[in-house]
Amino acid sequence: MPDGSPAQETVGGVAAEALTQYVDRIERLEEEKKALSADIKQVYDEAKSTGFDIKILRKVISLRKVAEHDRKEQEEILELYKRALGMD
C-alpha cells in the first residue's frame, strides 16, 4: 500500500516522481537545445560576415548528412529532371 512518500505517490495511476523526473529532463534538454541553436546561428552569422553564402552553406551541411551513394543518386535524378525541363 502506498505510504504517501514522493517515491510511492501516484495521482490517477501516474507515478508522480517518475513523471516529474521526465518533465525535468525534457525541460533541461530543451534549454540545451535552445543554447545550441543560438550557438549554431552565431556560427552562421560569422560565416556570413566573412562572405559565405548561408543558403549554400546550409545546403552543403544538409548534403553531408546523406550517404554518398544516396547523394549521387539524388544528384543524378535532379540533373535528369532539370534536363527534362530545359534547365541545363
| pLDDT number for residue 1 | 44
| DSSP string for residues in 34-82 | HHHHHHHHHHHHHHHHTT--HHHHHHHHHHHTS-HHHHHHHHHHHHHHH
Segment holding 10, helix H or strand E:
strand 10-11
Per-residue model confidence as pLDDT tens for the chain (88 residues): 455 555 567 777 778 889 999 999 999 999 999 999 999 999 999 999 999 999 999 999 999 999 999 999 999 999 999 999 999 8
Residue 41 identity (one-letter amino acid): K
Residue 77 identity (one-letter amino acid): I
Q: Give the Cα separation of 9 and 24 in Å (integer).
A: 17
In Å, how far are 59, 66, 74 from 33, measured between CA atoms? 21, 22, 30
Q: Indicate the pTM of the whole model.
A: 0.67
